[in-house]
């Protein structure tokens, strides 16, 4: 397929989930073969929906979508489906094909090598860490040898080495690629431009060029829109004042007054609807459990995984009130396993003091009941069920009346993350355990979340591979499982 050929074209495409949840309204864009494009937009705007429209798993309500019929598409989604967690690596890759592939083992080994992962073919998917699952997702797309590679938040859960490896792979990748990510440095290394999805107008704007230049261009456009509106507002007030003055004069002056009011109305309609979604979540605090005294958590040993072998490691960890611990180490060494054992109380080598409430932010959101509505999920963690307090906290996380009655499972991954933070705020835990809390979250929200964690007064254990995020948080101790 020639590079100047159009691979994908949306022409006035409209799509909605029911009458009260529009996603696209006559959205248009074109993507040429060989282009590497980023999709930007607020959590819940519909970025993943666009990808599903391209693959054909969703159908447009109106307008037309052209996808080159010779284009072979592979889509690496944000997370491995829950129903595939119990299958083996071999079965996972076999599901990538409609027909049976004979001698698939060499193909699996080749793509695993491409994503820098050693994985026995009979190993169960759920036994891999979040970062290793992210690599498996990428490998599952690459094994299909696609002409169009679609990646939805591919850096989630990846450690520094994993992100560097993926970045270099995409720099060298010579086919068409569409990526959703909130990692600005990662995107800037390879992207040719941006498809910007506006959550309020439901339109798609297309920008070409360096990622940071595009972001600056969008910010500059917003500032110009604000200045233009301010000028309009000034003239509207002046015309209304003149209209009132001439109207009181009576006679022919009333005609002048009517013209002034018409001019003011025209300027009101000419005002630009500024991109409102560029505001972030409100500043918030996670209140700690009251009357925290003495040791909250102690750990005297733990297990790690090296070269697929389990090793026991002696440690001396004691967390008290207002102590923040960073848990570090590469993908697959056992960080998430340790956090899960602590949060569940099943760890034999750790002790959480009696009466301590544990707030657990899990990277796969499995602490949330996907059948609950957002409202029920938030009320569940409150000792005193107060609807007004709950809705006030929810609104700070951009959870409005349209979202509050939605089932958790119907939310985007980013919205699930915001619900998880709202739950922690309402729960008021004494021990806060956070496993990759930046995953899926809009980059505008991250400084606000970092400040809330920095100010948290209880005991906290944090796992995050995003250095820029960690540097904004007070860390009192570091436990590096690799060392």
52 band by pLDDT with thresholds 50, 70 and 90: very high
- Mean pLDDT, residues 102-112: 92
Q: What is the pLDDT of residue 78?
A: 85
Give the residue-averaged pLDDT of 248-259: 76
DSSP 74: E
Tally of CA atoms within 13 A in the half-sphere of 436 that contains its CB: 24
Q: What is the DSSP letter of 383?
A: S
> Taking 50 as the threshold, does the pLDDT of residue 2 lie above it?
no
pLDDT, tens only, 363-373: 889 899 999 99
Place of tokens 């440095």: 185
Q: Is 19 helix (H, G, I), strand (E, B) or coil?
A: coil
**What is the CATH topology of the domain spanning 6-215?**
Rossmann fold (3.40.50)
Rounded to whole angstroms, how far apart are CA atoms 6 and 349?
A: 59
Which sign, positive or negative, has the C-alpha torsion 159, 164, 165, 169? positive
Cβ neighbours around 149 below 10 Å, total? 24
pLDDT tens digits for 157-187? 888 888 888 899 899 998 999 999 877 788 8
Number of helices (H) and strands (E) in the chain: give both, helices first: 15, 17
pTM of the model: 0.71
Order of all β-strands in the sheet with 176-180:
73-76, 148-152, 176-180, 36-40, 193-197, 204-208
Alpha carbons 30 and 24: distance in angstroms, whole number: 15
| The CATH number of domain 295-480 is 3.40.50.300 | yes
Two tokens, residue 474: 């007070």
CATH 3.40.50.300 residue ranges in the chain? Answer: 6-215, 295-480
Give, for 196, the enclosing helix (H) or strand (E): strand 193-197
CB count in 10 Å sphere of residue 40: 23
pLDDT in tens, 276-306: 545 678 999 999 998 888 999 999 988 888 7
Percent of the chain with pLDDT over 70: 96
Which sign, positive or negative, has the C-alpha torsion 459, 332, 344, 281?
positive
């Amino acid at each position: 397929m020639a590079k100047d050929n159009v691979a994908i074209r949306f022409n006035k495409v409209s799509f909605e989930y029911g009458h009260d949840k529009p996603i696209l309204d006559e959205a248009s864009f074109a993507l040429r073969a060989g282009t590497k494009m980023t999709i930007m937009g607020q959590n819940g705007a519909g970025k993943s929906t666009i990808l599903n429209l391209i693959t054909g798993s969703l159908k447009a309500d109106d307008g037309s979508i052209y996808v080159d019929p010779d284009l072979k598409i592979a889509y690496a989604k944000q997370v491995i489906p829950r129903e595939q967690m119990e299958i083996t690596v071999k079965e996972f890759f076999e599901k990538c094909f409609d027909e049976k592939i004979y001698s698939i083992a060499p193909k699996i080994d080749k793509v695993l090598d491409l994503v820098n992962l050693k994985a026995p073919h009979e190993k169960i998917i759920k036994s891999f860490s979040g970062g290793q699952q992210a690599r498996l997702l990428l490998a599952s797309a690459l094994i299909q040898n696609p002409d169009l590679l679609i990646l939805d938040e591919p850096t989630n859960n990846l450690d520094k080495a994993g992100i560097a490896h993926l970045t270099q792979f995409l720099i060298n990748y010579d086919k068409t690629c569409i990526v959703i990510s909130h990692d600005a440095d990662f995107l800037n290394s390879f992207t040719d431009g941006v498809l910007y999805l506006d959550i309020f107008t439901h339109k798609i704007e297309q920008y070409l060029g360096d990622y940071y230049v595009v972001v600056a261009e969008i910010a500059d456009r917003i500032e110009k829109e604000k200045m233009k509106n301010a000028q309009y507002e000034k003239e509207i007030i002046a015309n209304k004042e003149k209209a009132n003055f001439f109207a009181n004069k009576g006679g022919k002056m009333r005609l002048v007054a009517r013209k002034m009011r018409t001019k003011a109305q025209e300027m009101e309609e000419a005002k630009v609807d500024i991109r409102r979604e560029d505001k972030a979540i409100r500043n918030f605090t996670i209140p700690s459990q009251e009357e925290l005294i003495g040791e909250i958590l102690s750990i005297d040993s733990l297990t790690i995984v090296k070269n697929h072998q389990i090793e026991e490691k002696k440690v001396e960890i004691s967390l008290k009130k207002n102590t923040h611990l960073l848990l570090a180490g590469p993908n697959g060494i056992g960080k998430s396993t340790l956090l899960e054992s602590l949060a569940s109380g099943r760890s034999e080598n750790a002790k959480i003091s009696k009466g301590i409430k544990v707030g657990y932010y899990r990277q796969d959101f499995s602490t949330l009941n996907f059948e609950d509505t957002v409202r029920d999920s938030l009320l569940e963690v409150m000792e005193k069920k107060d609807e007004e307090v709950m809705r006030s906290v929810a609104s700070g996380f951009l959870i409005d009346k349209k979202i509050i009655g939605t089932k958790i499972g119907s939310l985007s991954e980013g919205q699930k993350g915001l619900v998880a933070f709202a739950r922690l705020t309402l729960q008021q835990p004494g021990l806060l355990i956070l496993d990759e809390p930046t995953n899926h979250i809009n980059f505008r929200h991250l400084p606000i979340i970092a400040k809330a964690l920095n100010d948290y007064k209880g005991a906290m254990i944090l796992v995050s591979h995003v250095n820029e995020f960690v540097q904004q948080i007070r860390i009192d101790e570091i436990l590096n499982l690799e060392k």
